[in-house]
Amino acid sequence: MLKKKNRLPKEIKIKDGNRFSSKFFLTVAIKNREGFSRFGFVVSKKIDKRASFRNRIKRQLRFYVEKNLDQIREGIDMLFIAKKEIAGANTKEIYDCLEDTLKKGRFLK
């Protein structure tokens, strides 16, 4: 499970930041004043009505971020917003897409 300090609080509104689009999600990132990075994950009901399905996608995204947290730069707030295409993807495809997005945005050390 992602540590509490690395979770993006609900009060934080990311309106203007760097946006990166990929096949499965939109990523919005801004710098923060903390000494660590925080992450948020949004999976809308437009993707699937079942909460269990949406939670599974969020768990997959969180798991990847947790395992690669030491490779991600500090001081960034990131919000991952899932697209409809993620519904048909398997775990490996999602992980590859996440890695490509982090490389594209230069968020890896």
Beta bridge partner(s), residue 31: 76
Dist CA 69 CA 6 (whole Å):
9
In the chain (109 residues long), the average pLDDT of successive 10-residue segments reads 90 84 92 91 94 95 93 92 93 93 88
Residue 40 Cα to chain centre, angstroms: 6
Return the pLDDT at 38: 94
Return the pLDDT at 13: 81
Record the tokens describing residue 48, joined without a space.
């699937």
pLDDT in tens, 28-52: 999 988 889 999 999 999 999 999 9
Give CA torsion, residues 92, 96, 101, 106, to 10 deg: 130
Is residue 79 a contact partner of residue 42, using CB atoms and an 8 Å limit? yes
Domains, the chain, with CATH or none: 4-104 (3.30.230.10)
pTM of structure: 0.90
- Say how many C-beta atoms besides its own lie within 10 A of residue 54's C-beta: 20
Return the pLDDT at 10: 86
